[in-house]
Amino acid sequence: MPLRSQNAKSIIAFVYNNHINTAKEQTKVDIIFISPMAQYKQSDITDIYWASNEGFKGGRDPLGIQNSSIATYTKLLPGLTNLTRHIRYYSLYCWLLSEYDKLEISGKTSLHQYNFIRRAELGMAFIMKDQGVGSIVGAMFINQKRYKLIDEGIYNIADGADFDSNEKYWTFKTGAFGQYYLGSLIYYELVKIEEGRFYLRKKGKELAMAFSLSVEANTRDLFIECILDGRIEEKEINKLQSLAIHNIALKSKEWQSLNHLLIKEDEESSFRKETIYLLLRDLNNAIEIDDFVKNRFLHVNEDKSVAASFGWYFYYLCECLHYSVDSIFCLVLNKIHDLHNPPIRVLTEDIVSSIMSTLDGKYKTIDEWKNDTLGNIDELYDKLRETIKNQEYIQAAFLSLTLLLRLFNEFEMNKKAILGFEKQNDLKRQRGILSEGLNAYVSQYLSWPISKYIPTLVTQIMQEHTIIAIGKMGRNNSDLRKFIYEEGRIVLVEIRYPVETSPRVDSLFNYLKDLSYLDSNNNLTDVAYNFLRNYGKK
């Protein structure tokens, strides 16, 4: 690893003599930890630290294992993200690009395409400001009243939107369009990029036309005028309400086009339409949206004919695995804090003693413990999350090990189906995927004494974090390590707590509301019931 400064106060090489075992190989890892100070807090780091290092940075996946969950839910719900919350943005952006092309060809604007889109996004935020609808691009800028007024009731959207402005609604140069929605528009073959400019594809032009048919010409013209002038008046906002991002006219050409995008037959290795079917059915059975994934796990055997059902079962198992390993790492970080930056031997001995006292000598080997682990996975997972919430980190680590062993038993019972799903959906290569993760943290240690397994696992997790954190540093000076090794001691940088991934279900729920599958009380409408009745029919 390149040194940030040749004038560092100390460089300490610490070599872990343990091995990281994978299913394919055993690799000895030599890790260099670099640090000149006794203990750090992110808030204390200034430019004096190591020749103007930017300092330590946070991160939600300290062990680099959540990409496997992300890759899984990307297969289950492609074409949307956790940050794309309204499907009408798809048709709006297509229409905006279409209008910009006309203006550019006719020579009626010299406004940069990026600023044209950015002004439109901020203009839409003003249109939506009193609607009580969440997840609107630029809403925070409006709510915090960071905009400027040209005159009473006249908002300066040029100053608030253009990318060279000092106080603007969005930092990313191409706005939320480029940062959040572009990937989905490309996935649906609506938009393409060439030489830093956005172009509509054939399907995008068709969607743009569908949008224009939903909005009267004078309303469309007024919005374009506001964009070009860089201003929008309060009295104009009322005239622009048919543009509102949630205002999709049922059965209109636009509604039909967007609905087709969402519920068209699933492509190979895509389970979006099947997931919609499962979600609507669960909602109709009074299952809360937050309980959808857990409910899919619990009822996987009842829906064997729906491939997405197994996919959500698999995703839930991956989440259990990741949360368990992250909980053990959380105990490590808290112990480093409680023991005041101990030597690694003291740290591991303390953790072993704490967990072994919880076991109370009931088992000698991991295999014995595994064979007696028969609890319900969902109950163990719920209990684990509760102990983390209550800051009972030793108990959480004990439950994590129990859950890992229970997951291994589950894997063994469904090994063929799980490995088949991983292979079919190209998930095998993902770090932290179920089969690889269980091999890394459980199966290779089954014959080991528990007293030897725990310190080995702790050291392995610490090694993996260090490798992942250093790998994420790239060419910048952001250090993602949560601990460092200095003068024979493990020094805490920051405590991180386990978090779960968000599998796009909330975004799908919003899309279904915007397309009138659900009413204002989240009850299914005739549109939804019609979808359920005709699901599976050609």
Q: Which pLDDT belongs to residue 266?
A: 63
Most confident of 2-6, 24-28, 235-239: 235-239
Residue 85 · residue 510 · CB < 8 Å: yes
Statement: residue 321 has pLDDT above 80: yes
Rounded to whole angstroms, how far apart are CA atoms 476 and 103? 41
Residue 334, C-beta contacts closer than 8 angstroms, at least 6 positions apart: 393, 495
Summarised one tens digit per residue, pLDDT across range 155-181 is 999 999 999 999 999 999 999 999 999
Statement: residue 509 has pLDDT above 60: yes
Residue 39, C-beta contacts closer than 8 angstroms, at least 6 positions apart: 341, 491, 492
Three-state helix/strand/coil letters over 9-40: CCEEEEEEEEEEECCCCEEEEEEEEECCCCCC
Q: Which pLDDT belongs to residue 537?
A: 81
Confidence of residue 72 (pLDDT cuts 50, 70, 90): very high
